[in-house]
Each structure stands twice: as C-alpha cells, then as structure tokens.
Amino acid sequence: MISSVIRFLGLVAAVLGVSAAIVGGIGVATTPFTDFPAFGSTGEKLLAYYSYFTLWSNILGAAAGLSYAFWFIRGRDGGGLGAVLRLDATIMLMATGLVYHLLVADGSPHTGTQAFTTPIIHGIMPVLLPAIWLLHMTQRHRPDVRLRTLLGALIIPAIWTAWTFWRAQVTGGYYPYDFMDATEIGLARSVTTTAMIYVIFTVFMLVLGLIERVVLSRLRPTRYIKLPENRD
C-alpha cells in the first residue's frame, strides 16, 4: 500500500517538476527578461532562467520523482547514488521553499506562466519531495543520511554556487538572487549570506538524519541493536 502511494506521488512530482520547468522556459523565451535587461536573445534568457537554484532543485526533484515511481521500489533503494539523489532533491527543495518565502517573495501577484509555475516550484514541490522521502523510509533498509551521502549531496549545490559567481563575472554582474548580488550588497555580505544557506542546508540534513535513525531503529531494530550471542 505504502509503496503504491510512493510510486504515485513520485509520478506526480515528476510531472509537476517537468511541466513547471518547460512552461517556465517557454514564458521566459517569449517575454523580456526583466531581471537583467542585457539578456535579449532567447538563448541568453533561457540560460539565465535555468541557472536559478529553484530550477535546479525542481529538475532534480522531477528526476527523484521518476526514481521513486520506477526505481526505488520493491526493496531497491538505488545504493549510494540513490541516497544522494533522494537527499539532494529533498534538501534542495526544502531550502528553495524556505529561502523563497523568507528572502525572495514580495507578495506581488504572479501573471502569465508564473501564475502556473510559482505555486509548483516554490510551494508544492518543496513539500511533496520531503513527504515522499519520509514515506520511503519504510521501504529502505539502511539510512540515506550517512557521511558519504552527505558529502555527495553537497556536490550539486557547490557546483551551482561556483557557476553563479562565475556567471556574475562574465555577464557583467548578473546574480539570480538579490541576497547574492555582490554588486549591490558587497562581496563579503554576498558570500556570508550564501554560507548561511549552506548552514541551513547542513541543519536540514542533520534533522533528517535524526528522524531517519529514530524511525529505522523502530522499524528494523535488529539492524541497530546487537543481539547477545547464543553460547549454548
């Protein structure tokens, strides 16, 4: 029963994530890119749009959704790569939702394609993927949150951070988020704010790890409690 729910929710996440990414790209390609007017060509606008952390996290969430639907089932957990994918999708989307509502959202109404994409990429997906991850704990036989997978889960955010700061240099100062805009707030504050997001990211991982250990120890206590040897 639970595995069927996980597969269904995974498929929903995949459809929503892919749909939002495609519809958002169409909207950006056919309208002026107001965040940075220097981007006039379709290619420049699309590259800028798909450089948002939000898009990276939602595309990864869609990939994880497909994996939940067709791979992480019937006792298979995908090994270390599967754990990294699940953790990345879960934590990156949690960070996306939190940062958006605390630092980015200004309460203004969304129009055009954003009226469709914003509720998905900033609201539904940041809740749906963590929920699936929690449900999937009942299906896996070892914790996702381990030192090796934690380090692996930091690779994509680190690549995104390096890409963002490099892009700012080659585009003459384009930053996808105001709280990272070193041109406006200074490099020191930009780096400090970015580092705080990594701290939040790490806290999320530790909290998820604690939840996972508690749940798995109750579901499969013999894997976590060493039984006394029979000396008869």
Q: Which pLDDT tens digit goes with each residue over 136-164?
A: 988 877 888 888 888 898 999 999 999 99
Residue 173 is predicted with a pLDDT of 87
Asked if pLDDT for residue 83 goes beyond 60, the answer is yes
- Label residues 203-223 b or e (16+ Cβ within 10 Å = b): ebbeebbeebeeebeeeeeee
Does the pLDDT value for residue 13 go beyond 70? yes
The whole-number average pLDDT for the span 213-217 is 81
Q: Using 50, 70 and 90 to split pLDDT, how confident is the model at 229?
A: very low
> Which of these ranges, 32-41, 53-62, 170-179, has the smallest mean pLDDT?
32-41
pLDDT of residue 225: 42
Say what the alpha-carbon torsion angle 27, 28, 32, 33 is, to the nearest 10 degrees: 150
Contact 6, 73 (CB under 8 A): yes
Q: What percent of the chain is modeled with pLDDT above 90?
A: 46
Confirm if 62 and 17 have CB atoms less than 8 A apart. Answer: yes
Mean pLDDT of 81-92: 91
Q: Read off the pLDDT of each residue in 224-231 and give the average, rounded to a whole number.
A: 44
Residues 38/91, Cβ–Cβ less than 8 Å: no
* pLDDT interval class at 215 (50, 70, 90): confident
Output 156 or 214, whichever has higher pLDDT: 156
Rounded to an integer, the average pLDDT of 59-84 is 82
Confidence of residue 232 (pLDDT cuts 50, 70, 90): very low
CA distance 120 to 184: 30
Percent of the chain exceeding pLDDT 70 equals 91
Model confidence at 72, pLDDT cuts 50, 70, 90, reads low
Residue 41 pLDDT more than 80? yes
User: Residues 176-180: contacts with CB within 8 Å, 24+ apart?
Assistant: 176/35, 176/48, 176/51, 176/52, 176/53, 177/53, 177/99, 177/103, 177/104, 178/103, 178/104, 179/103, 179/104
- The letter for the amino acid at 113 is T
Cα distance between residue 143 and residue 117, in whole Å: 33
Mean pLDDT score, 103-131: 89
pLDDT of residue 129: 96
C-alpha neighbours within 13 Å on the C-beta side of residue 158? 7
CB 72 within 8 A of CB 86: yes
Task: Name the residue type at position 69.
Answer: A
- pLDDT band of 73, cuts 50, 70, 90: low
Q: Which of 50, 84, 85 is nearest to 64 (CA)?
A: 85
Rg of the chain over Cα atoms, rounded to whole angstroms, equals 20
Q: What is the pLDDT of residue 228?
A: 45
